[in-house]
Structures are given as structure tokens and as C-alpha cells.
């Protein structure tokens, strides 16, 4: 039997929503082990002074809890 934890992250990018998701996953992968699934839950963008500033992607990541 396996147990998984789900965390929600927000990735950002000046290029695209896809790049924002990739950034979130790659940064999480530096500290979280056993990443399994990434679910894109929301796409939006940051606006500063009435102008586009960045793409933002909300990502739910699941990872397997290690059984010691």
C-alpha cells in the first residue's frame, strides 16, 4: 500500500504558462523526493501598473510518502 501527499504551488515565468509550471516542478524537485503527478489547476497572470508582468500557473504535486 502506498500513501501520497499533495501540495499546491504557484510557478511563475515571463515566457509562458507551460514554463511557469515547469519552474514550479523543477524547484519542488530539489527538495521533494518521489514526485509522481503534476495537476495544473489554474492559469492566471500578474499585472503591474496596468501591464502584463508574468504568467502564473497553480500546480498540485503529489509525492509518495516514504515508508521507513
Choose among 28, 33, 21: nearest CA to 57: 21
Structural domains of the chain ordered from first start = 4-64 (3.30.1660.10)
pLDDT-derived band at 67 (thresholds 50, 70, 90) equals confident
Residue 60 pLDDT more than 80? yes
What local confidence, expressed as pLDDT, does residue 66 receive?
83
pLDDT tens, 1-58? Answer: 889 999 999 999 999 999 999 999 999 999 999 999 999 999 999 999 999 999 999 9
Whole-prediction pTM: 0.86
Amino acid at each position: 500500500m502506498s500513501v501520497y501527499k499533495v501540495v499546491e504551488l504557484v510557478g511563475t515565468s515571463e515566457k509562458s504558462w507551460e514554463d511557469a509550471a515547469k519552474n514550479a516542478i523543477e524547484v519542488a524537485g530539489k527538495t521533494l523526493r518521489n514526485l509522481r503527478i503534476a495537476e495544473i489547476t489554474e492559469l492566471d497572470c500578474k499585472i503591474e501598473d496596468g501591464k502584463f508582468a508574468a504568467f502564473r500557473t497553480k500546480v498540485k504535486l503529489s509525492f509518495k510518502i516514504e515508508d521507513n
